[in-house]
Amino acid sequence: MTFSPIFLQILQVLTVLALSPLLHGFIVRMEERVQMSAGPSIFQPYRDLCKYFSKELVVPRDASWVFLLTPIVAFTAMLTVPLLIPVLTNYPLPLSDMGDILGGGLILTLGSFALLLAGLDTGQPFGGLGSSRAVMLTVLAEPTLILVLVGITFLDHAMLPFVANHLLVSQPAAFLSPTHIFLTLAFLILLTVETDRLPIHSTIPYEIYMIDEARILEYSGPLLGLLKWASWMKQFILYTIFLNVFLFPWGLATNGHWLSILGASAMILLKYAGLGLFMVGVDTAQSRLRFYRYQEPLALSFLFAVLAIVAAQL
């Protein structure tokens, strides 16, 4: 049996939707195991979502329409990006030409921007603190991300992630080139920033180093469930870009046959679990930094991106 391209396009979105809580649960479980504690089940995020969507919605008195619209914008943005990137297949699907890799990055940024406004909307001190810190990180992270995307275009002379995937699979020289190695290192550091793995983050409620958690403290019920789910999907999408475009572009389906799709799905579980374990190791091994030193890893990421572009011109 061979699936139609339209069905595969929908399946890519459903894969991100369904597996993102599992990836988050796996990472949390492994973090607890490394710290010699039992930890929650890897299926706990699914139970949390059921709990959030069954709770009553409470809206702060001073909240405006921005507060209500932000979870919908963030969730919709995360449903759009899987249409543009190689999640299951290594060839473009019908809607993949709606945008290139830069367009996907802008859609991810749209969700973060809406969340930033929501943190400021209620006027609560923790929301404003989290939003201001997120802006400081974004000011350094976004130029680096643009440089990484520009570096990809220098490498494969195209902005489509599928072209980069094909180039790295078919040409080992391009995969081992200094340009690709520097781009991979730069994106890896960005990955720690965008998935809250930078050693200045904290998810402990009312802890002074909270950033993303501080911006959603006022949310509850279904809206909080949407924001949590969108955050997990963003992590899954960034893992997809890092693995299927930069680090390990192999293992995707080359046609719509069900065996090829099944193999790609199994490869997703292996690849993402491996990267999740690596990130747990990084998160556990690195020492905590004071917040004002946040620019050090981001500066290193920017340096790698610049070196990648210089190497591409030599």
Q: Give tens-digit pLDDT for 243-286.
A: 988 888 888 888 888 888 898 889 888 999 999 899 888 877 77
CB 213 within 8 A of CB 130: yes
Residue 1 has pLDDT above 80, yes or no: no
pTM of structure: 0.91
Residue 154 has pLDDT above 70, yes or no: yes
Residue 196 has pLDDT above 90, yes or no: no
37-89 pLDDT, tens digit each = 878 899 999 999 999 999 888 888 888 888 999 999 999 999 998 888 888 88
Residue 107 has pLDDT above 60, yes or no: yes
Residue 200 has pLDDT above 70, yes or no: no
What's the rounded mean pLDDT across residues 207-228? 81
**What does the pLDDT read at residue 70?**
92
**What does the pLDDT read at residue 43?**
94
Residue 211 has pLDDT above 80, yes or no: no
Whole-number average pLDDT of the chain:
85
CA end-to-end span of the chain:
48
Strand partners, 2: 257
pLDDT classification of 157: cutoffs 50, 70, 90? confident
Q: Return the number of other C-beta atoms located less than 10 Å from residue 175's C-beta.
A: 17
CB 82 within 8 A of CB 238: no
Residue 202 has pLDDT above 60, yes or no: no
CB 183 within 8 A of CB 306: no
- For 17, half-sphere exposure in the C-beta direction (CA atoms, 13 angstrom radius) is 13
| 287 or 83: which leads in pLDDT | 83
Q: How far apart are CA 308 and CA 193, in angstroms?
A: 20
